[in-house]
Structures are given as C-alpha cells and as structure tokens.
C-alpha cells in the first residue's frame, strides 16, 4: 500500500540553493567557481561576536531560553530602533527568531488564516510565496516593472483582483536591491490601514545601502509586522538568528507558536547577537566593501553584455534583464557556470512568470572574485 505524501511539500524549490549545490559539486570536482549566486556575505562575523560565543561555550551557558528570546538581546534590539530610527520600542514587542525564515513562518501563522490572500511584488524573494502556499495562504503576485522600481504601489494593489488580507514589502528588496522612500512606504501603510490589510515589512537588508535612507515600518505604523535578521548586515548567516517587531495583539500568539515550533532561537547565537549590536563600525566597513563591488560590476558588466540592470539602492544584488541574450535563464545560468565558472541565479526563482528573461548577480563576496567574474564574462557571449 502506497502511503500518501502531503501536498504542502510539493511547493517549488528555492532555486538558488540548487544552483549553489551545483556550484559546490563543481568545486568538489576541482573546478574553480566564482560565487555570485548566493546572498551570503563573504565577510566573517565581527570579532566581538566570536569572542562572545567563545565565552559562552567556556561557561557552558547553552540551555533553552524564553521563547521570545533573552532579555539582553531584546533590550539591545529595542535600543537599535531608538538609535537608528528614533523610535522608542517596548522590548516586549520584540520576538527573537530562528533567522528571518523562522520569523516569516511565525508572522504568517500568527497573522493569516488558510484561504487568506497576501500580495507581494514579483520579482521578489521566493520563500515568501512558497511558505504562504505551504500554509494554505494564497500569494497574489503584483507584477512590478522598472517604472515602479520593482516595488508594490497602491495603484498595483487596487488593480489586484479580489480582497487582500496582507501585503509583504521588502526594502531593500531581493533580487533588485531597490528601496521604498518614506513617502512611498507611507502611501502603502496608509493604503493597508484604510482597507484592513496586514503589512509585513522585510527589513533584513537594512544597514546595507548606497546613498538612500532606509525607512522602517515601525516609524510609520504600530500595526505592521517587521522582520529583520543578523544574517546580512551583521554577517552571521549560519548563526540562524533574526527578530520580529510585532503589534501588541500578536505578542502572545507569536510566543505560543514559537514555543511549540522552535522552543527558542539558538542560545549561542542569541548571546553572540548581543555583541553584534555594538559592532557598527566594523560592519559599516563591510558595507563599504560591498559598495566597491557594486561600483565595479556596474562599470564592468555592461562591457560583458549585461547592460540592463535594475537600480541597486541597497542589499548586494544586481538584477539583470537578459532578454536580448536568452529566453531561458535557467539554461543560461547553467551554461555560464559550465563555461566560465561564474555562478549566478536565474530570475525564475524570483518571478515565475517573467523570470526566464532575468538573472541575479550577488556582489556579497570578495572584490577580487567580482573583478575576476567580470573578466571571465567579457567576450564569453561572443565566444559562445
């Protein structure tokens, strides 16, 4: 007798992870790979983070914590909002999570019922729509264009057929790196408030910007759910540590869900995270390196034939329209990896309908890798 398999496991893969596996297999076979596919900082966690972790291990302080997180970390995150955004937050509204991924799961479970409809931009981070689908929540894709700077607008929301129960925004966004300014985010906050739409703001790339101000939804609304992470700006991807700022009404639901699903975020990471909050000088130096990588690729990629790039206000990605070169971004990326050793991510990961003509470059790695990748790509298309 064949046992059934739950349909929620049939969601699409996170293709960038498949690309990374293929790149790693190439490396294991002795072939050189330049990793421009994965959104992982090439920089280490700051030195005080490593020292805090060592002290915690020496003291054997690695037991369970409260489901909402250790008080020093929650107070430290509240201080971050005071210092960076001028907002006084009650630490009780802060929920420490197992990465931003754990935050998305808790947020979606606490805020939405099965059958609800949640809007999000396409192109956008694929895990939003895939987690929603696994939970029985319908993702409603807003097909954004360059004229919208690949961000949702009230007009696009008005055009969406049927009711909407939620909206996910990301500023800076993945894969385009574009940002919402204060007026644009205010327009979305007001639109959602007037129509009973729950706003979820993904702010995991805050701190990584190139001349534009990052605005947090907590500055504009007490009803928004804000999700952030230690992975990107803090250069702590594998530590699996993030946080949410939740409205008062969702504090207890988020706690109960967290207790049952995760017990608590990793204790070692939480203790190290307290130290990370005091490392802005070191972390801003990392951002300066990303800025150099960005400038290098913006100058060199057009020479290699990649001359239709989304404006990258923040994060560490360039989203390239390659429709003049291919109509199959997955095959194009496989060929690029095989023939040049440069790993990139096909746009279909971020936009199921139109991503076949886009790809994403990540410039989170070392500057030397960016320069070498640009050199390898120059002349490749003509040679192929």
Give pLDDT, residue 228.
98
What local confidence, expressed as pLDDT, does residue 12 receive?
Answer: 77
Residue 15 pLDDT exceeds 80: no
Can you tell me the mean pLDDT for 128-141? 96
pLDDT band at 279 (very low <50, low <70, confident <90, very high): very high
Tell which wins on pLDDT, 179 or 26. Answer: 179
List domains and CATH numbers for the chain: 9-45+281-379 (3.40.640.10), 47-278 (3.40.640.10)
Tokens of 379: 């002349």
75-94 residues labelled b (16+ CB within 10 A) or e (exposed): ebbbebbeeebeeebebebb
Residues in the chain: 384
Residues 6+ apart with CB under 8 A from 346: 15, 19, 329, 330, 332, 333, 355, 356, 358, 359, 360
pLDDT value at 384 more than 60? no
For residues 379 and 117, the model is more confident at: 117
Quote the crossing angle between the two packed helices 47-58 and 267-276, to the nearest 10°.
140
Residues 290 and 316: beta-carbon distance below 8 Å: yes
What pLDDT band is residue 61 in, cutting at 50, 70 and 90? confident
383 pLDDT band (50/70/90 cuts)?
Answer: low
Q: Provide the pLDDT for residue 5.
A: 82
Rounded to 5 degrees, φ, ψ at 139 are -80, 130
Task: Please give the pLDDT value at position 28.
Answer: 86
| pLDDT higher than 90, residue 270 | yes
Nearest Cα to 132, choosing from 121, 150, 117?
Answer: 117
Contact by Cβ (8 Å): 187, 153: yes
Band of residue 22 on the pLDDT scale cut at 50, 70, 90: confident
Report pTM: 0.94
Residue 123, preceding peptide bond in cis (omega within 30° of 0):
yes
- Which tens digits make up the pLDDT trace of 284-331? 999 999 999 999 999 999 999 999 999 899 999 999 999 999 999 999
Check residue 30 and give its pLDDT: 86
Tokens for 72, please give them: 């020093």
Cα angle for residues 177, 184, 92 (degrees, 5° grid): 85
Quote the tokens at residue 244: 């949410």
Q: Say whether pLDDT at 2 is over 90.
A: no
Range scoring the smallest mean pLDDT among 23-32, 83-92, 146-155, 169-178: 23-32
Cα of first residue to Cα of last residue in the chain, in angstroms, is 51
Q: Are 246 and 85 in contact (CB under 8 A)?
A: no
Give percent of the chain with pLDDT exceeding 70. Answer: 99
Our separate counts of H helices and E strands in the chain read 13, 12
Above 60 in pLDDT, residue 122?
A: yes
pLDDT exceeds 60 at position 366: yes
Mean pLDDT for the chain? 94
User: For residue 217, what are its two tokens?
Assistant: 């939804």
Phi, psi of 205 (to 5 degrees): -100, 10
Residue 275 scores a pLDDT above 60: yes
Band (pLDDT 50/70/90 cuts) for residue 89 is very high
* Least trusted range by pLDDT, from 188-192, 244-248, 338-342: 338-342
Over range 122-129, report the average pLDDT. 95
Contacts of 270 (CB under 8 A, 6+ apart): 65, 69, 70, 73, 96, 241, 264
- Better pLDDT: 377 or 17: 377
The Cα diameter of the chain in Å comes to: 61
The DSSP secondary structure of 229-294, one letter per residue, reads: ESSSTT--GGG--EEEE--GGGHHHHHHHHHHHTSSS-HHHHHHHHHHTT-HHHHHHHHHHHHHHH
Does the pLDDT of residue 17 top 80, yes or no?
no
pLDDT tens-digit map of 140-159: 999 999 999 999 999 999 99
Q: What is the pLDDT of residues 145-203, one digit of tens each?
A: 999 999 999 999 999 989 999 999 999 999 999 999 999 999 999 999 999 999 999 99
Q: How do residues 93-117 score in pLDDT, each as one tens digit? A: 999 999 999 999 999 999 999 999 9
pLDDT at 24 over 90: no
Give Cα 315 to chain centroid, integer Å: 9
The pair phi, psi for residue 94, each rounded to 5°, is: -100, 125
* Both tokens assigned to 211: 């001349």
> In the predicted model, is pLDDT for residue 205 greater than 80?
yes
- Position 282 confidence tier, pLDDT thresholds 50, 70, 90: very high
Give the residue from 258, 233, 229, 35 showing the smallest Cα distance to 127: 229
């Amino acid at each position: 007798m064949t046992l059934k398999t739950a349909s929620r496991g049939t969601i699409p893969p996170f293709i960038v992870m498949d690309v990374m596996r293929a790149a790693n297999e190439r490396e294991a076979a002795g072939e050189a790979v330049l990793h421009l596919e994965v959104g992982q900082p090439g920089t280490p966690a700051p030195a005080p983070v490593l020292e805090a972790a060592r002290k915690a291990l020496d003291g054997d302080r690695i037991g369970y914590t409260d489901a909402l997180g250790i008080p020093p970390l929650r107070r430290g995150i509240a201080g971050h909002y005071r210092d960076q955004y001028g907002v006084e937050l009650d630490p009780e509204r802060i929920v420490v999570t197992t990465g931003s991924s754990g935050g998305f799961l808790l947020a979606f479970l606490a805020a939405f019922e099965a059958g609800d409809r949640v809007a999000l931009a396409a192109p956008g981070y694929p895990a939003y729509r895939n987690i929603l689908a696994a939970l029985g929540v319908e993702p409603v894709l807003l097909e954004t264009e360059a004229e919208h700077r690949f961000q949702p607008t009230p007009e696009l929301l008005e055009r969406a057929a049927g009711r909407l129960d939620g909206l996910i925004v990301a500023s800076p966004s993945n894969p385009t790196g574009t940002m919402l300014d204060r007026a644009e985010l205010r327009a979305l906050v007001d639109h959602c408030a007037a129509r009973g739409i729950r706003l979820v703001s993904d702010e995991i790339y805050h701190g990584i910007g190139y001349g534009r101000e990052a605005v947090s939804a907590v500055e504009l609304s007490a009803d928004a759910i804000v999700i952030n992470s230690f992975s990107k700006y803090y250069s702590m991807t594998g530590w699996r540590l993030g946080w949410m700022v939740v409205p008062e009404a969702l504090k207890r639901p988020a706690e109960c869900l967290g207790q049952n699903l995760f017990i608590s975020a990793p204790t070692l990471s939480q203790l190290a995270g307290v130290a990370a909050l005091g490392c802005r000088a070191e972390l801003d130096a990392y951002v300066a390196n990303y800025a150099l990588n960005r400038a290098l690729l913006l100058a060199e990629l057009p020479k290699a034939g990649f001359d239709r790039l989304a404006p990258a206000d923040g994060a560490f990605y360039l989203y390239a329209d390659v429709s003049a070169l291919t109509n199959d971004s997955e095959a194009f990326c496989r060929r690029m990896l095989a023939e040049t050793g440069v790993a990139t991510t096909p746009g279909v990961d971020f936009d199921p309908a139109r991503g076949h003509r886009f790809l994403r470059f990540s410039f989170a790695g070392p500057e030397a890798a960016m320069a070498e990748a640009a050199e390898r790509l120059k002349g490749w298309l003509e040679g192929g």
